[in-house]
């Protein structure tokens, strides 16, 4: 009987395998980079929100430039009757302006 000799991978098999591997990498790397950028954007947004919330708890109007996670931001907190209205604005990784605003309600301005 005739037996087919199996000498391992042929050159064509190797070329196809390498091509498939590089194609997968080509499509996966940009997605992973985009996920990292979005993750960093959300971390910074969360830090800005936390900072603004802490400043609203101080219950004092203010305005000025601050640094949060080494990002320059502009914050202002204004009194509106019995509430405080605060916003923080910064430039994102994509060079877009982003901002968050909160309203602090409660016993602001009342004597205890």
The pLDDT tens digits for 44-55 are 999 999 999 999
Write down the pLDDT at residue 107: 61
pLDDT tens-digit readout, 57-83: 888 888 999 998 888 999 999 988 888
Do the Cβ atoms of 82 and 108 come closer than 8 Å? yes
pLDDT for residue 12 is more than 80: yes
* Interatomic CA distance for residues 98 and 72, integer angstroms: 12
Predicted TM-score of the model (pTM):
0.72
Looking at residue 111, what is its pLDDT?
42
Q: Sorting pLDDT into bands at 50, 70 and 90, what band is 1?
A: low
Strand 71-80 relative to strand 62-68, pairing: antiparallel
Domain borders along the chain are 11-104
Residue with tokens 């009342």: 110
Q: Quote the mean pLDDT of the chain.
A: 86
At residue 33 the predicted structure's pLDDT band, cuts being 50, 70 and 90, is very high
């Amino acid at each position: 009987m005739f037996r087919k000799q199996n000498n391992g991978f042929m050159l064509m098999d190797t070329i196809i395998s390498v091509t498939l591997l590089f194609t997968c990498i080509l499509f996966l790397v940009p997605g992973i980079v985009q996920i990292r950028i979005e993750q960093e954007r959300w971390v910074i947004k969360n830090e800005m929100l936390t900072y603004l919330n802490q400043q609203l708890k101080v219950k004092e109007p203010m305005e000025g430039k601050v640094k949060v996670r080494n990002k320059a931001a502009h914050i202002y907190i204004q009194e509106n009757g019995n509430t405080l209205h605060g916003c923080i604005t910064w430039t994102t990784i994509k060079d877009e302006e982003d901002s968050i605003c909160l309203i602090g309600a409660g016993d602001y301005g009342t004597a205890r």
